[in-house]
Amino acid sequence: MSLAAIIFSILTIISSLGVIGCANPLNSALCLVLTLFFVAAHYAMMGAHFVAAIQVLVYAGAIMVLVIFVIMLLGLERDESSSDFKKPRNVLTAAVIGLFIGMLIVAVQSGVAGAPVDGLADASIVNDGGGHAIGQVLFTRYVLPFEITGMLLLAAIIGAVYIAHEQRKPLAEGRGLKAVRNRE
């Protein structure tokens, strides 16, 4: 790994520690934004510029804005929920996760396969990192997952709206086709 990558990795880890460590949800949200930027930097370094752009645009931009908006909406920026690390359970959790990391590292060292199998294995496409190649693959091979993801987003919207919006009418004469039918 190049030196820059290592530096950015350390920065990413520090900022993610910040996300966990901060008592105030607002601070941790900001730390998360920082982490996302560092991750986008990693993508860029790896040559996937388009992905890095999307990362910054979608993740940092849209999702985090929404999160911070909700934090402000619920007025949580003031309360200091202390996720103190001293509690015995948390220490145990940290220990288990340490072991977990060790296990993952040992696993990752060996297992990575050599040659790619069925992907579009030519360096040019990857390197130019442009949207063109991704778009081309996305709408030929991955068309079904793409459509389903569309469905997914639509469902998420309907669900979020249904569940979060203020209750407009008292239960009895709720709008909707059935209620109307009853009225005749």
- What residues between 66 and 85 interact with another protein by CB under 8 A? 66-67, 70-71, 73-74, 76, 81, 83, 85
Size of the residue set binding another protein (CB under 8 A): 109
Q: Quick check: 17 binds another protein (CB under 8 A)?
A: yes
DSSP characters over 119-156:
S---HHHHHH--HHHHHHHHTTTTHHHHHHHHHHHHHH
**Site residues for another protein, window 86-145 (CB under 8 A)?**
89-90, 93-94, 96-97, 99-101, 103-123, 125-126, 133-134, 137-138, 140-145
CB 165 within 8 A of CB 158: no
Q: What distance in Å separates the CA atoms of residue 12 and residue 30, rounded to the nearest whole number?
A: 13
Least spacing, CB of residue 131 vs another protein, in Å: 11
**Site residues for another protein, window 164-183 (CB under 8 A)?**
164, 167, 171, 174-181
- Contacts of residue 26, Cβ cutoff 8 Å, sequence gap at least 6: 68, 71, 72, 76, 77
Q: Quick check: 161 binds another protein (CB under 8 A)?
A: yes
How is residue 23 written in tokens?
């008592």
Least spacing, CB of residue 174 vs another protein, in Å: 5
Side-chain half-sphere of 160: how many Cα atoms within 13 Å?
Answer: 7
- Contacts of residue 5, Cβ cutoff 8 Å, sequence gap at least 6: 42, 45
Q: What angle do CA 114, 116, 117 make, to 5 degrees?
A: 120
Q: Quick check: 3 binds another protein (CB under 8 A)?
A: no
**Site residues for another protein, window 20-49 (CB under 8 A)?**
20, 25, 28-29, 32, 35-36, 39, 42-43, 46-48
Least spacing, CB of residue 159 vs another protein, in Å: 3
Least spacing, CB of residue 128 vs another protein, in Å: 11
